[in-house]
Structure 1
Amino acid sequence: MTLNKTALTLEVGANETLSATVEPSDAADKSVQYSSSDSTIATVTPVQGKVTGVKAGSTTITVTTVNGQTATCEVTVTEPSGG
């Protein structure tokens, strides 16, 4: 399984959706579960993979298939540049 990004930088309040590709392409169950190692830095919706920056810092988003395969994306959240 792969993610469309292995690293992501977001501003606080911004969001981006990650996309997982499950192999093989004919796998019976392609459902995945997303989780954040620190939801005080960035949250992620468990099914859709929408990552939202909460406060400045770094965290890891992990996506797991039903059969236990995992992929990760390192997320860095920065303060908004406009001030």
Structure 2
Amino acid sequence: MDNVNKSVEVGSTVNITATVEPSEADQAVTFSTSDTSIATVSGAGVITGVATGTATIAVASKVKSTVKADVTITVTDSE
């Protein structure tokens, strides 16, 4: 993971990038959010802030689901 904590404003987007180790391993991952009312995430790792609050984005290997990491997303008001 490139970073385990990110912030984004409501209505804005931020990308997260994930790599699976070792580098020879299949790099396909899935992204999911703990709370779609706070933040959504696309299959490409693009996170959109929906409302203020905190959500967890889970990133997991498509090949081995036990290989995973979480990213904490804090969504703030746009000013």
Same fold (TM over 0.5): yes
Q: For the residues of structure 2 that align with 1:5 and 1:56, how far apart are their CA atoms?
A: 20
Matching residue of 1:60: 56
Percent of residue pairs identical? 42
Matching residue of 1:33: 30
Q: How many pairs does the alignment contain?
A: 77
Is there any run of 5+ residues in structure 1 with no aligned partner, and where? none
Q: Secondary structure at the match of 1:61?
A: strand
Runs of 4+ in 1 over 6 A off after TM superposition: none
Matching residue of 2:3: 5
TM-score by length of 1: 0.89
State the superposition RMSD in angstroms: 0.7
Q: Secondary structure at the match of 2:72?
A: strand
User: How big is the shift at 1:21?
Assistant: 1.2
Which structure has the greater CA radius of gyration? Answer: 1
Match of 2:78 among 64, 76, 80: 80
